[in-house]
C-alpha cells in the first residue's frame, strides 16, 4: 500500500468521493424538484443539507485532524441520512399513495412518479461521511476493523438500490438501446461481491470484486455519455437546454455508479 492511500489518506479520499456523490445528488434533486416547481418547501432540504454535507466533506479531506471539522461532518452526515429517509417517505406518499389509483397503479407510479429510491442516495452520502469521519478519527483501514466493513456494506446496499432504481427507469425507457441492460448486469455482481466482502472479508475474492468495481466505475462514465446522447435525441437536443434537461434522462445519475465503485475500490486497498 502506498502513502497517499494509506491511513489517514484513505479516508480523506473517501471524503472527496463522498463530496462528489453529494454534488451529483444535489444536481439531480435540483433538476427533479425544479421540474415539479418546488411545490413543497421540504424539496429544498436535500439542496441545503447536501451543500452542508459536501462542504463538510471537503473540509474533512483538507484538515482531517481538526476535531470540530470531524464533528461537523458527523452532524451533516446524520442530517443527510435522515433527510434522505424522510425524502423517501415524501416520495412514497406524494409519488404513489396520493396519486390517482394509488397502489393499484403501482408500476405506473414507480415509473412516472417521483423516483422512490433516489432520496436514499443522500442517506448513502451521509452514512459514508459519518464513516469517513470515524475512519479518520480511529485510523482504521484493516478489513478486521468495523468501520471499513460498514462502509463497504453501505456501498453494497447503495449499489443494489441504484440497480433497482435504474431497472425501473430503464424499463420505462423500454430498453431502447442494448446498453441500457448494462447497469442491470455488472453492478449487481459488484454489489454482491462487496456485500460478501463486508460480511466475510475473504482475501481470495478481493481480486474478482476489484475487477467488478473497476467495470462499474467505467460503466458510470459510459452511462454519462449515453444519457447525454439521450438528452440530445430529444427535439432540439441540448440547444434547447433547460427543457430537454428536465425532460430527458437524468444527466448525472450514472455517475453515482462511478463514485460508489470508487469508494469501494478505495476501501479494497485495505483488503
Q: What residue has cell string 483538507?
A: 62
Measured CA to CA, the distance from residue 180 to residue 169 in angstroms comes to 10
Helix axes 67-92, 120-138, angle to 10 degrees: 160
For residue 97, the Cα-to-chain-centroid distance in whole angstroms is 25
Q: How far is the CB of 78 from another protein (least distance, A)?
A: 31
Nearer to another protein, 111 or 218 (CB): 218
Nearer to another protein, 110 or 255 (CB): 255
Nearer to another protein, 20 or 45 (CB): 20
Q: How far is the CB of 241 from another protein (least distance, A)?
A: 5
Nearer to another protein, 87 or 251 (CB): 251
Nearer to another protein, 45 or 226 (CB): 226
Q: How far is the CB of 94 from another protein (least distance, A)?
A: 32
Sequence length of the chain is: 271
Question: Would you say 111 and 94 are in contact if contact means Cβ atoms under 8 Å apart?
Answer: no
**Interface ranges with another protein (CB under 8 A):** 2-5, 214, 217-218, 220-222, 224-226, 228-229, 232-233, 237-239, 241, 258
Q: How far is the CB of 33 from another protein (least distance, A)?
A: 22
Is the peptide bond between 252 and the residue preceding it cis, with omega within 30 degrees of 0?
no
Q: What residue has cell string 448486469?
A: 185
Measured CA to CA, the distance from residue 19 to residue 177 in angstroms comes to 31
Measured CA to CA, the distance from residue 165 to residue 256 in angstroms comes to 12
Measured CA to CA, the distance from residue 120 to residue 154 in angstroms comes to 11
Nearer to another protein, 202 or 242 (CB): 242
Q: How far is the CB of 68 from another protein (least distance, A)?
A: 31
Amino acid at each position: 500500500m502506498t502513502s497517499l492511500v494509506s491511513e489517514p489518506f484513505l479516508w480523506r479520499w473517501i471524503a472527496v468521493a463522498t463530496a462528489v456523490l453529494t454534488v451529483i445528488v444535489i444536481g439531480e434533486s435540483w433538476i427533479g424538484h425544479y421540474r415539479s416547481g418546488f411545490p413543497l418547501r421540504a424539496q429544498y432540504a436535500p439542496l441545503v443539507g447536501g451543500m452542508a454535507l459536501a462542504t463538510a466533506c471537503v473540509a474533512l479531506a483538507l484538515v482531517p485532524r481538526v476535531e470540530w471539522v470531524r464533528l461537523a461532518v458527523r452532524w451533516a452526515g446524520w442530517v443527510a441520512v435522515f433527510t434522505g429517509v424522510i425524502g423517501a417517505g415524501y416520495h412514497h406518499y406524494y409519488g404513489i399513495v396520493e396519486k390517482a389509483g394509488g397502489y393499484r397503479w403501482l408500476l405506473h407510479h414507480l415509473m412516472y412518479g417521483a423516483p422512490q429510491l433516489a432520496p436514499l442516495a443522500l442517506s448513502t452520502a451521509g452514512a459514508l461521511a459519518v464513516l469517513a469521519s470515524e475512519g479518520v478519527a480511529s485510523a482504521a483501514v484493516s478489513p478486521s476493523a468495523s468501520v471499513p466493513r460498514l462502509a463497504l456494506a453501505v456501498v453494497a446496499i447503495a449499489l443494489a438500490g441504484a440497480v433497482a432504481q435504474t431497472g425501473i427507469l430503464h424499463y420505462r425507457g423500454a430498453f431502447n438501446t442494448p446498453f441500457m441492460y448494462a447497469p442491470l448486469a455488472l453492478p449487481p455482481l459488484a454489489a454482491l461481491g462487496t456485500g460478501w466482502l463486508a460480511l466475510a472479508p475473504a482475501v481470495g475474492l478481493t481480486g474478482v470484486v476489484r475487477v467488478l468495481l473497476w467495470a462499474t466505475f467505467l460503466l458510470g462514465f459510459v452511462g454519462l455519455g449515453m444519457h447525454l446522447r439521450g438528452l440530445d435525441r430529444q427535439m432540439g437536443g441540448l440547444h434547447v437546454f433547460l427543457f430537454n434537461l428536465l425532460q430527458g434522462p437524468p444527466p448525472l445519475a450514472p455517475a453515482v455508479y462511478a463514485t460508489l465503485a470508487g469508494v469501494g475500490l478505495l476501501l479494497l486497498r485495505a483488503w
